[in-house]
Each structure stands twice: as structure tokens, then as C-alpha cells.
Amino acid sequence: MLNEFRKTIPASQLPPGTMKTVESDGESILLVNVKGKLFGMGAICTHEEWDLSEGTLDGHNVTCAGHGSVWDLTTGTGKFDEPLDPEPLYEVEEKDGYLHVRRKR
């Protein structure tokens, strides 16, 4: 588990309005830039394991390309017609031109 900040991709690879999945310490993390605010959440949909970076972004919600569950990047919870396990959340910081992530919960 990512208890300490780990360096990931250059910040320039995540311009506003984009999402990217990165791997760090065996965890798949969805990095999202919403108008300059950075979010980190588990990247693999807990429904049937689609990569959420293939979905669509609307504000701080991500719609899974698989079957349309809607994920809230601020809470890690997904809305669907059946209950879904929540995603872990990550803190994302920009330092020296790179994005660093650490697990929140």
C-alpha cells in the first residue's frame, strides 16, 4: 500500500480535462486533472474491472466505459444499479514537474 508519496508521471502528461492510469507499488491509480485540481482514485472499476481511464469525465465524475457506473472522484464511491465496492482514494501532489501519489484510505 502506498503510504508514502511515490513519483509517477510528468505533470505535463496530465493537462486539465484528462485522465490517465498509472501503476505504482502494484496499485492501479487513476490520475485526473479537473481544471487544474488533481485527483487520484483506484483505476479499476469494482464492477467488472474496466479501466476507468477509458471512460468519460464530467466535472469530478467519471463514467465507466464498461457498463456506465458513475464514480465520484471526491469520495471514491460508484453509482450503479447494484452496490459497488468503493475505490481507494489517493492524494496527488505536483513536485519538481512530476505527480506524486500517496494513498489516503
How far apart CA 33 and CA 41 sit, in angstroms, is: 12
We find the least distance from the C-beta atom of residue 83 to ligand FES, in angstroms, to be 12
Here the cell at position 42 is: 483506484
Question: Does 67 interact with ligand FES (rule: CB under 6 A)?
Answer: yes
Residue 64 binds ligand FES (CB under 6 A): yes
- What is the residue whose three cell numbers read 487513476? 30
Ordered strands of the 19-24 beta sheet: 6-10, 98-103, 89-95, 37-42, 27-34, 19-24
Report the residue closest to ligand FES, judged by CB.
66
Tell me the window of 13-21, 26-34, 61-69, 93-101 that interacts with ligand FES (CB under 6 A): 61-69
**Which residues sit at the interface with ligand FES, rule CB under 6 A?**
45, 47-48, 50, 64, 66-69
